[in-house]
Amino acid sequence: MPQLLMNLGENSYDIVIEKGALNRIAELIPLNRKVLVVTDRGVPAEYSKKILSKCAYPFLIKLKPGEESKSPKKYLYILKKMIEFGFDRHDCVVAVGGGVIGDLAGFAAATYMRGIDFYNVPTTLLSQVDSSVGGKTAIDFEGYKNIVGSFYQPKKVIIDPDVLKTLEKRQFACGMAEIIKMFATYDRDSFDKLYSNKKMPVEELIERALKVKIDVVSKDEKESGLRRVLNFGHTVGHAIESVSACTSSPLLHGECVAVGMLCMSGGDAKKQIKTLLERYNLPTSYKCSKESLVSVLAHDKKSKKDTVSVVKVNKIGSFEIIEETHNKIISDCKGVLTLL
């Protein structure tokens, strides 16, 4: 099974992709110290138990599932517990869950005593191919997503594709949206392979997507340029996510990214991306009010005055990053968004 290396000098780390990796966790993480496992109630308890049962000094925090847990309140709760449990610089935090748990526990590990060892055991497809790797940790604050956080690389990422067996189909599809994002912008060979319907085992999909992420992050760890390619579909996607959050049927992050990618692509690339999205039952259109969409676009933290940086794909395997006005972005969305 592959072991990939995220090469970031002294912050380098291994990414283990291995079916059944959780069963040999003690060989992968030094557990002879205080270990705080952070998870949520939606993640089957057996995954945390496999780790806790191998720890010399195990501690567990189980939170409510969902984005609401990426809050200052839960962040401070984790820090408070670490103090109460007597954690010091030699101890570690292990996240067992999706991107919510990884971002939150990672931020707590990054800031407790100026940083203690952090291990990520991602359990959603999205977190396995995207959020667990690259060192972005954050919480949401004052209505802004990921507004407080830090770049803090994990010591190791352990990906066990077997845990995806319990993941809901809709959540799995969200991970596929991020995989399609990486292939569409950066890896034509993998996109073509997936497009031509060749059966690709999930572990191969994960490995191929992570190779893209590793390449991008190793060239631009702090997102000063190239790393912005990973935002393909995310400018409009985040706006749709905010608007849909206030409706009776909110869309999931990956679903919003799917629609956002279609808005920002053109030509044959757009048709091919659409075909793949439909194959995974991801949405390819969305209806909302123009006013609400423009108002959330204007609040995008990446926006400079009335323009926003967007990633465009007109040819599979390549991309352009350009500054666009809100009006131009809205006009790019024609045929994908129905604006009332």
The stretch among 6-14, 111-119, 130-138, 286-294 that binds ligand NAD (CB under 6 A) is: 130-138
By CB under 6 A, which span of 42-50, 113-121, 182-190, 286-294 interacts with ligand NAD?
Answer: 42-50
Residue entry with tokens 């390619």: 229
Q: Is 161 in the site for ligand NAD (CB under 6 A)?
A: no
Q: Which residue lies nearer to ligand NAD by CB, 34 or 136?
A: 136
Closer Cβ to ligand NAD, 259 or 330, answer by number: 259
Among 4, 61, 93, 99, binds ligand NAD (CB under 6 A): 99
- Torsion angle in degrees (nearest 10) through CA of 47, 73, 64, 17: -30
CA distance 176 to 184: 12
Do 179 and 126 form a contact (C-beta atoms < 8 A)? no
- Binding string to ligand NAD for residues 6 to 25, with x set by CB under 6 A, is what? --------------------
Tell me whether residue 61 or residue 167 sits nearer to ligand NAD (CB atom): 167
65 near ligand NAD, judged by CB under 6 A: yes
**Pairing of β 13-17 and β 320-325:** unpaired
**Among 92-100, 192-200, 238-246, 331-339, the segment contacting ligand NAD (CB under 6 A):** 92-100
Taken as a whole, the chain contains a residue count of 340
The span from the CA of 189 to the CA of 175, in Å, is 19
Token pair recorded at residue 264: 């920002």
Closer by beta carbon to ligand NAD, 205 or else 330 = 205
97 makes contact with ligand NAD (CB under 6 A)? yes
Query: Candidates 27-35, 40-48, 194-202, 320-328 — which segment interacts with ligand NAD by CB under 6 A?
Result: 40-48
Q: Shortest Cβ distance from residue 99 to ligand NAD (Å)?
A: 2
CB 302 to ligand NAD: min, Å = 14
Give the residue, chosen from 11, 57, 77, 146, that forms a contact with ligand NAD under the rule CB under 6 A: 146
Nearest distance in Å: CB 26, ligand NAD: 21
Cβ neighbours for 181, distance < 8 A, ≥ 6 positions apart: 230, 232, 233, 257, 261
Q: What is the CA radius of gyration of the chain?
A: 20
Rule CB under 6 A: is residue 130 a binding residue for ligand NAD?
yes
How far is Cα 28 from Cα 265, in angstroms, rounded to an integer?
Answer: 41
The count of chain residues that interact with ligand NAD, using the rule CB under 6 A, is 30
Position among 43, 159, 177, 273 found at the interface with ligand NAD (CB under 6 A)? 43
Which residue do the tokens 């790797």 mark? 133
Tell me: does residue 123 bind ligand NAD (CB under 6 A): yes
Contact assessment for residue 60 and residue 52, using Cβ atoms and an 8 Å cutoff: yes
Name the strand (E) or helix (H) holding 299: none
- Using CB under 6 A as the binding rule, whether residue 131 contacts ligand NAD is answered as yes
Q: What residue spans of the chain are helical by DSSP H?
A: 25-28, 45-52, 72-84, 99-111, 125-126, 169-186, 188-195, 202-219, 234-245, 253-263, 267-279, 290-298, 326-332
List the interface residues with ligand NAD, window 240-269 (CB under 6 A): 253
Q: Whole-angstrom Cα distance, residue 109 to residue 51? A: 18
Residue 103 makes contact with ligand NAD by CB under 6 A = yes
Contact footprint for ligand NAD (CB under 6 A)? 40, 42-44, 65-67, 70, 97-101, 103, 123-124, 126-127, 130-131, 134, 136, 145-146, 163, 166-167, 171, 174, 253
